[in-house]
Amino acid sequence: MADQGRSPRSAPGLEPDGTDRRRFLGYLLAAPTLVVAVQLGAETADPQMAEAAIPSPPEPAELMDLGDVLTLAALPTSSLISITMSPDGTASFALPRAEVGQGITTAIAMLIAEELDLPLDKVEITLADARPELVFNQFTGSSNTIRSMYHPVRTAAAIARARLLSTAARQWSVPVSSLTVDQGVIKSKSGTTATYGSLAVAAASTRLTAVSAQPKPESKFTLVGTPQNRIDAHDIVTGNKKFTLDLDVCPGAKPTMVRRPPTINGTVESVPNMAAVTSMPGITDVAVVSTGVAVRGETFGQCIDAVRALKVTWGAGSVDGESDDTVLRKLKAATLPLAAPPLLTHSIDAEFVFAFASNSALETNNAIADVKPDRAEIWSGLKSPIDAQETIAKKLGLPQHAVTVHVAQGGGSFGRKLFFDAALEAAEISQKMGRPVKLMWHRTDDFRHGRAHPMSYSRIRANYALGNVVSYEQRHTSVATDFTHGLGEILTATAAKLPVGGLGFSETVFELTQEVPYNFGPTTQLLNEVPLKFHTGSMRDVYSPNVVCARELVVDQLAATMGKDPVAFRRSFLKKGRYRAVLDKLAEVGQWGTSMPEGTAQGVAVHAEFKGCTAVLVEIDCRPETTGRRIRDAVTGPRITKAVMVVDVGRPINPRGLEAQMLGCVNDGIGLALTESLHIQKGLPLEGSWDNFFYTRQWNTPADVQIIVMPATTGDPGGAGELGVAGSFAAVACAYARATGKMPTSFPINHGTLSFDPLPREPSIPQSPTDGLDYAY
Amino acid sequence: MPQHTFILNGAKVTVDAPDDLRLLWVLRDILGVTGPKYGCGLDVCKACTCHINGKAFNPCSVPISYIKPTDEITTIEGLADKKTGALHPMQQAWLDYDVAQCGYCQPGQIMAAIAKVKQARSAGHEIGEADFDEIRNICRCGTYFRIREAVRSAATKM
Ligand code: FES
Ligand code: FES
């Protein structure tokens, strides 16, 4: 049986060895130096054939997933991305995506360096401003960047290389085939050399010329697929990497903060002491805006004082009556029914609850905005800059082209930067005050009024008979996830081409992302949503972490009921050879089956998505001496002592960067399973600091982590940024169940206990402490 | 407006600032030193970690009036050798282990790690698991494991 789900052998233009030898079209642009452009999105998605020996008909996510949709959406747009060769020998490329820590600038630089035979440090990647003509091509989501940029970027670089070679050949009157390139230096047989930089001007074109090129066969890659460090690492460790609030780009953009309501979406009724606050030291402006009351001043410290000094009467918010228990009741009531079990089968029924969780990054929401009567300029870490530009223009009453949106380096995203809440708010504030602003959200607001992954409830029924799982059903019910950040439009525009018809956005995303990797007979997974007006969004993947955690716990139950080992059981039902290979490697490296002391256990889980697959093994320690560890203002609890992940992304571009992403996913999974959640009480999350929202800390993280990147399997790079969360979450949950002998059904497991004293609701932000020196070490 | 003098990355600086303004805002908003990041302003996330006379501390939680003219404040910008640009062994280890992801927490992580290694030493031992478990700095990108590897390696060169 073939190992690859999407057999490249059948695709037209491919060599018998599976390498891609198609020619791609690009353009030489008329410019003073060599500039090569290609049309982004000209690559047709290859709907793959699923390989299923035993009948679980392929699910939509296997045929075409969300990443394919994003690629497909780009097809009709004529949009050029370009590589510029400068006389100083650097190749530069403005990436129409956001870098928020996922390492895409490094991976794209590697593709360009590979194709050009140029040292990696001679490739410069910047982040492009919002370019409306790119339409759907400037959306950083669903781990789609490398998947959609792989062919276009390589094509552009291949054309540039060919042009530089032909320029040298012409100058030296020798055939191109006699030339070689090493590290950006062209050499003739007779030993004459010329650098790319010295040829950049001569190679420039005087008119737009269409040319085609054949990128290097993948078998000849020497850089792509090898581990490389991040290209921005030096700037980071010296403090020179500039995030939005570090930028000195807009004279007069002064610190600005907002006093926010005591419940989500509460509205300002009156501000009796507005004048008094305006005359506080350092404060320049105070203005009522749609999200609260904004203050602008000389320093953020003075803004904090002013925000706290404001007296505000508030109108009701949008979810004032909602708390964890009321939301859960609504979710249960809205859950779609399961089918009745067939005759002569046994069933496992299970239900799980997943709390709200914040997708807050370490950098809080922020933006710089300078709004003038006839134009506006915005800087922010944005993953959907075109949508931001359009929405901001509408809000300001300006034409879209009058709004310039610059994409800044982002300090983490995890779904948060798909939205542009701070950019929109900063624009409104700047317009109201008539001055440029540098808006920063307070940490407490970022948890309480920022986006959160919504609470969900999952019911599963698995039927089994005669040593086989004969059907699998999952009904997932979630508070509605907000997709109004450009993805919604993309889905509308491509609706007719999708393998799922007539569904709303959320259901479509669900169908396009959820894949059960096992042959469990007829399989249905359905989503229903409860539309409550919380601020929601995805969180390093949309549905998978919760859906997969629930599923893998049930898989363990099935294995136990049927008297099978969890790894052997999974192995026997996995659909693809690729998945089995990943699991086998995991069992070997992770030493599955090692005997463990009582109160500790191993757990294992498998997850397939984004045309990739991961398997995760963790070891957990639930013994009292571990769970009872006392650390100031912290949650300790069970400790993951070891984590092993095997990941197959089809074709790894930068294995070291991929490992880094998976390492982050492991820590996300640990937090989601054990410690990290929002408690909703009367319309507001209680969490207001990192000592309330218990994302994984050093005292929770394993001291032993191994990430194994599988060599290229399908040949096409799959998505990676989010791939590892679901498996990690599920593996921790499964390990916990095995260590304690009880399957957990509510996540994170500590959600039932409030482990901190909530900060007050009013004023919305706390004052900074003054005793910092007492903790110096 | 009161004047405050201290030593910043080896050079004497004087600023006009209200007494209770936290040092983080003096650094970032008045002096334009943006290496120390804001992550909470609550002495929790540790993204703003700097050194005062060689010890790690969080300037978001220290009023400027608490800083004496003789106090030496070091930010991430002051770690590398000024003349040669040579990195501190901890910064170099961060490169060797490719620790950073988004990078937002990393200036604070590096400053905290240096102090932690020294603290362990003055307590008579090399940095180990128990010390790592005491580092409170958040890394929302989850780079904790590589941080541990890098710190261990840097410690042998410090
Ligand atoms: S900003 Fe200083 S500790 Fe968080
Ligand atoms: S690298 Fe992003 S928060 Fe640490």
The domain that holds B23 is classified in CATH as 3.10.20.30
Same domain, yes or no, for A36 and A164? yes
3-state secondary structure at position B50: strand
Q: Residue B122: which H helix or E strand, with range?
A: helix B106-122
Same domain, yes or no, for A438 and A468? no
Count the neighbouring beta carbons within 10 Å of the beta carbon of residue A50.
17
Ligand nearest to the CA of A411: 2
Residue B83: inside a domain, yes or no? Answer: no
Provide the number of structural domains found in chain B: 2
Check pLDDT > 50 for residue A583. Answer: yes
Same domain, yes or no, for A54 and A176? yes
Check pLDDT > 60 for residue A60. Answer: no
Residues B39-66 as b/e (b if ≥16 CB within 10 A, e otherwise) read bbbbbbbbbbbbbbeeebbbbbbbbbeb
Residue A43: φ, ψ to 5°: -90, 120
How many angstroms does the Cα of residue A407 sit away from the middle of ligand 1?
Answer: 25
Q: Which residues of A touch B135 (CB under 8 A)?
A: 698
| Cα–Cα distance for residue pair A173/A340, rounded to 1 Å | 79
Residue type, A290: S
Same domain, yes or no, for A295 and A184? no
Q: Are strands A468-479 and A523-530 parallel, antiparallel or unpaired?
A: parallel
Ligand nearest to the CA of B105: 2
Same domain, yes or no, for A147 and A263? no
Q: Is B111 in the pocket of ligand 1 (CB under 6 A)?
A: no
Same domain, yes or no, for A306 and A180? no
Cα dihedral A540/A546/A549/A552 (nearest 10): -110
Check pLDDT > 80 for residue B142. Answer: yes
Check pLDDT > 60 for residue A718. Answer: yes
| Band of pLDDT at residue A11, cut at 50, 70 and 90 | very low
Residue A130: inside a domain, yes or no? Answer: yes
- Which residue among A428, A448, A468 closes a domain? A448
Query: What DSSP state is assigned to residue A214?
Result: -
What is the model's pLDDT at position A382? Answer: 86
Query: What DSSP state is assigned to residue A213?
Result: E
The rounded percent of chain A whose pLDDT value lies above 90 is: 67
Q: Is B104 in the pocket of ligand 2 (CB under 6 A)?
A: yes
What is the model's pLDDT at position A128? Answer: 76
Please give the sequence-ordered ranges of beta strands (E in DSSP) within B61-131, or none if there are none: 72-74
What is the model's pLDDT at position A66? Answer: 58
What is the model's pLDDT at position A491? Answer: 58
Residue A324: inside a domain, yes or no? Answer: no
Count the neighbouring beta carbons within 10 Å of the beta carbon of residue A131.
18
**A308 interfaces chain B, CB cutoff of 8 Å:** no
Q: Is A133 exposed, middle or buried (0-12, 13-18, 19+ CB in 10 A)?
A: exposed
| Cα–Cα distance for residue pair A723/A2, rounded to 1 Å | 23
Same domain, yes or no, for B42 and B104? no
Residue A159: inside a domain, yes or no? Answer: yes
How many angstroms does the Cα of residue A536 sit away from the middle of ligand 1?
Answer: 26
Same domain, yes or no, for A300 and A340? no
Residue A657: φ, ψ to 5°: -70, -40
Q: Which of A101, A443, A667 sits opposite B103 (nearest CB)?
A: A101
Pick from B27, B29, B60, B106 the residue to mutate for probing ligand 1's pocket: most ligand atoms within 8 Å of its CB: B60
CB distance A320 to A644 below 8 Å? no
Residue B82: inside a domain, yes or no? Answer: no
How many angstroms does the Cα of residue A363 sit away from the middle of ligand 2?
Answer: 9
The domain that holds A673 is classified in CATH as 3.30.365.10
Give chain A's mean pLDDT.
Answer: 87
- Which residue among B15, B44, B76 closes a domain? B76
Q: Are strands B50-52 and B11-16 parallel, antiparallel or unpaired?
A: unpaired
Helices (H), A675-766: 723-740
Nearest to A662 by CA among A100, A142, A102, A226: A102
Residue A707: φ, ψ to 5°: -115, 125
Provide the number of structural domains found in chain A: 3
Check pLDDT > 90 for residue A148. Answer: no
What is the model's pLDDT at position A77? Answer: 37
Check pLDDT > 60 for residue A50. Answer: no
In angstroms, what CA-CA distances link A199 with A94, A170, B41? Answer: 21, 11, 52
Same domain, yes or no, for B72 and B109? no
Same domain, yes or no, for B15 and B69? yes
Residue A452: φ, ψ to 5°: -135, 150
Same domain, yes or no, for B48 and B109? no
What's the length of chain A?
777
Structure tokens at A83: 């590589």
pLDDT tens figures, A675-701 = 999 999 999 999 999 999 999 999 999
| Cα–Cα distance for residue pair A32/A88, rounded to 1 Å | 14
pLDDT tens figures, A620-639 = 999 999 999 999 999 999 99
Same domain, yes or no, for B23 and B71? yes
* DSSP string for residues in A372-425: -SS-EEEEE--S-HHHHHHHHHHHHT--GGGEEEEEPB-S--TTGGGS-HHHHH
Residue B84: inside a domain, yes or no? Answer: no
Instruction: Over range A25-36, report the average pLDDT.
Output: 82
Same domain, yes or no, for B69 and B17? yes
- Which residue among B41, B76, B111 closes a domain? B76
Ligand nearest to the CA of A362: 2
Mean pLDDT check: name the lowest of A32-46, A122-136, A739-753, B102-116. A32-46
Looking at per-residue pLDDT, the higher value among A124 and B139 belongs to B139
Same domain, yes or no, for B70 and B105? no
Check pLDDT > 80 for residue A65. Answer: no
The domain that holds B94 is classified in CATH as 1.10.150.120
| pTM of structure | 0.90
Nearest to B106 by CA among B155, B157, B39: B39
Q: Is the dihedral of CA A57, A60, A65, A69 positive or negative?
A: positive
Q: Residue A529: which H helix or E strand, with range?
A: strand A523-530
Structure tokens at B4: 């405050």
What is the model's pLDDT at position A13? Answer: 40
Question: Ligand 2, closest atom to CA A361?
Answer: 3
What is the model's pLDDT at position A418? Answer: 81
Q: Is A664 in the pocket of ligand 2 (CB under 6 A)?
A: no
Residue A9: inside a domain, yes or no? Answer: no
Same domain, yes or no, for B67 and B98? no
Same domain, yes or no, for A297 and A351? no
What is the model's pLDDT at position A706? Answer: 98
How far is the alpha carbon of A177 from chain B, nearest alpha carbon, in Å?
39
Same domain, yes or no, for A529 and A617? yes
How far is the alpha carbon of B126 from chain A, nearest alpha carbon, in Å?
16
Residue A224: inside a domain, yes or no? Answer: no
ipTM here: 0.98
What is the model's pLDDT at position A4? Answer: 32
- Which residue among A431, A448, A465 closes a domain? A448
Same domain, yes or no, for B99 and B70? no
What is the model's pLDDT at position A69? Answer: 55
Nearest to A148 by CA among A136, A160, A162, A131: A136
Check pLDDT > 90 for residue A254. Answer: yes
Structural domain including B10 reads: 3-76
Please give the sequence-ordered ranges of beta strands (E in DSSP) within A591-734, or none if there are none: 600-609, 612-621, 639-648, 680-681, 684-685, 704-709
Same domain, yes or no, for B93 and B69? no
Contacts of B105 (CB under 8 A, 6+ apart): A362, B37, B39, B45, B46, B47, B137, B138, B139, B140, B141, B143
Check pLDDT > 90 for residue A25. Answer: no
Nearest to A640 by CA among A580, A704, A596, A593: A704
- Which residue among A396, A417, A448 closes a domain? A448
Structural domain including A71 reads: 24-215
Same domain, yes or no, for A301 and A413? yes
Q: In what order do the strands lie in the sheet with A123-127?
A: A123-127, A91-95, A80-85, A35-39, A24-28, A209-213
Q: Which of A410, A442, A776 sits opposite B41 (nearest CB)?
A: A442
**B74 interfaces chain A, CB cutoff of 8 Å:** no
Q: Which residues of A touch B21 (CB under 8 A)?
A: 299, 301-302
| Cα–Cα distance for residue pair B64/B60, rounded to 1 Å | 10
Residue A4: inside a domain, yes or no? Answer: no
Q: Are strands A35-39 and A185-187 parallel, antiparallel or unpaired?
A: unpaired
How many angstroms does the Cα of residue A411 sit away from the middle of ligand 2?
Answer: 7
Helices (H), A55-177: 60-63, 66-73, 104-116, 145-172
| Band of pLDDT at residue A306, cut at 50, 70 and 90 | very high
Q: Which residues of B touch A106 (CB under 8 A)?
A: none
Residue A777: inside a domain, yes or no? Answer: no
Question: Ligand 2, closest atom to CA A236?
Answer: 1
Same domain, yes or no, for B16 and B59? yes
Residue A54: inside a domain, yes or no? Answer: yes
3-state secondary structure at position A341: coil
pLDDT tens figures, A218-232 = 999 999 999 999 889
Same domain, yes or no, for B61 and B103? no
- Which residue among B76, B104, B139 closes a domain? B76
